[in-house]
Chain A
Amino acid sequence: MEGQTLQLIGSLVAILVLAAIAWALKLGRSANIEDAQHAMALASEADSGFDPAEAAVSRDGACAIVADKTGRIMVLRGHGAQFAGRVLEPGSATQVETHALTVTPADRRYGPVTLDLGDQAQAWAERIDALHTAQDA
């Protein structure tokens, strides 16, 4: 039992050391979305059934919002060195403050995404809110 405890402590130390080395080596460049075309390419990679038609990229390049030809909307954000997207479902919440649109997908574990969209923020919020109406209709 004592041996197993020592082994576990040793493993834990090794894990922390390896993660620290990964940090020290500056591995994992943070992911940036370059432009609308890049956002649309990422959206179709995230969901092969998503056929992007238009996109808006946050001014900091950290996240984007993409609509497909059928009216579905996906939010995308950097996740470490990669990207993760969510197609928004009814129940997703929006909040607009000046030019910042915060989207909280119905899948709460994905977490909220705040996009600096300039004067497009309100229009995108309304499109997302309309997803509820489409569901209720």
Chain B
Amino acid sequence: MPDFSPVDYAVPGFVLLVLAEMLWARWKAPQAYEPKDTLVSLAFGLGSTVAGLLLGGFALAVFLAAYEVRFFTIGWAWWAWPVCFVLDDLKYYWVHRFGHRSRWFWASHVNHHSSQHYNLSTALRQTWTGAFTLGFVFALPLVLLGFHPVMIAICGGFNLIYQFWIHTEAIDKMPRWFEAVMNTPSHHRVHHATNPRYLDRNYAGVFIVWDKLFGTFEAERPRDEEPIRYGIVKQLGSFNLLWAVFHEWIGMLGDIWRAPWKHKLSYLLREPGWSHDGSRETSDMIRARWQARQDANEPPAQAPAGAPQEKPIAGPRRAA
């Protein structure tokens, strides 16, 4: 059984690449970095490592117990590694999608989105509270299939390393074939955007094909036509690290406390922005309103003579 943590070996590379991107920003885009924001992002990364050491043992214990009752024994064969990597990435897609579509999971994952900047330091803005969401349960099917928990952890480490480099504005587009299959800076900028068109899109980790398969893909428009605004719908407006870590947990628990009994569970499980009295907006509602405005402002299409007079565009796209 290998004892290997790929992320540990990647950390010096992360530091050097952040430094290189800062130098790029110095000459090309000074607003791409903000020192206080960078400090918060990096502190998130460090705190996340500590939280993993303190709380990760529980998930490992569950995995090892589940492995004892596995359906098959896959072992350490060479072919198991790429299969495990792909299936782990599929698992990542779903846990990530839940991270945006259930407020319980969002309370943790929002940490990664709370920066209004999009640079390599943002990639290190990792949650401290992931253990409280039970997101690790999504990996249990892989364990029960017979993939060893350590193999899954190593594949997850490589997945995380891959996702580091896509957090940048320094790269516009990759070659077309690469953009078609892989997650890229362009696809992931969409994911971090608060523009209504882009909300809750592109959940992929490594392979963008999952979004295309499950209907959550959105291509990036030319940035000079539609500049991207990063962050969250209600920007924090604060560089306070502890507030950044816990703000959504505090908000969610407050809402559960104040809500009528029959709605309490909905504030935990339903999508961020949901409210029992309709006083807030979910990403679906924001996008639908934006789409309605777009449709209203759009000049009617000139139909060719003899063509049926039908509206060529369907109603607002549903969010995933």
A48 and B196 contacting across the interface, CB-CB below 8 Å: yes
Question: Is A69 among interface residues, defined by CB-CB distance under 8 A?
Answer: no
B23 and A25 contacting across the interface, CB-CB below 8 Å: yes
Question: Is B221 among interface residues, defined by CB-CB distance under 8 A?
Answer: no
Q: Which residues of B contact A85 (CB under 8 A)?
A: 235, 237
A81 and B34 contacting across the interface, CB-CB below 8 Å: yes
Question: Is B163 among interface residues, defined by CB-CB distance under 8 A?
Answer: no
| A113 nearest in chain B by CB position | B237
Report if A110-B238 is in contact (Cβ < 8 Å); known contacts: A8-B50, A21-B19, A80-B36.
Answer: yes
**Chain B interface mostly:** helix
Q: How many residues of B contact A (CB 8 A)?
A: 44
CB contacts between A and B, total, < 8 Å: 111
- How many A residues are at the interface, by size bracket? 20 to 34
Q: Which residues of B contact A27 (CB under 8 A)?
A: 22, 25-26, 30-35
A15 and B281 contacting across the interface, CB-CB below 8 Å: no
- Report B281-314 CB contacts with A as 1/0, cut-off 8 Å: 1000010011000000000000000000000000
Report if A29-B30 is in contact (Cβ < 8 Å); known contacts: A21-B22, A45-B229, A49-B281.
Answer: yes
| B121 nearest in chain A by CB position | A18
B116 and A8 contacting across the interface, CB-CB below 8 Å: no
B11 and A11 contacting across the interface, CB-CB below 8 Å: yes
Question: Is A79 among interface residues, defined by CB-CB distance under 8 A?
Answer: yes
How many Å lie between the Cα of A121 and that of B260 in the bound state?
A: 40
Q: Which residues in B have some Cβ–Cβ distance to A below 8 Å?
A: 8, 11, 15, 18-19, 22-23, 25-26, 30-39, 42-43, 45-46, 49-50, 53, 116-117, 121, 196, 229, 231, 235-240, 243, 247, 281, 286, 289-290
Listed A/B pairs (9) with beta-carbon separation below 8 Å = A11-B11, A28-B37, A48-B290, A79-B238, A80-B34, A81-B37, A86-B237, A109-B247, A110-B238
Question: Besides A4-B53, A15-B42, A19-B38, 6 other CB < 8 A contacts?
Answer: A15-B45, A18-B121, A80-B239, A81-B31, A82-B34, A82-B231
Q: Which residues in A have some Cβ–Cβ distance to B below 8 Å?
A: 4, 7-8, 11-12, 14-15, 18-19, 21-23, 25-29, 45-46, 48-49, 77, 79-82, 84-86, 109-111
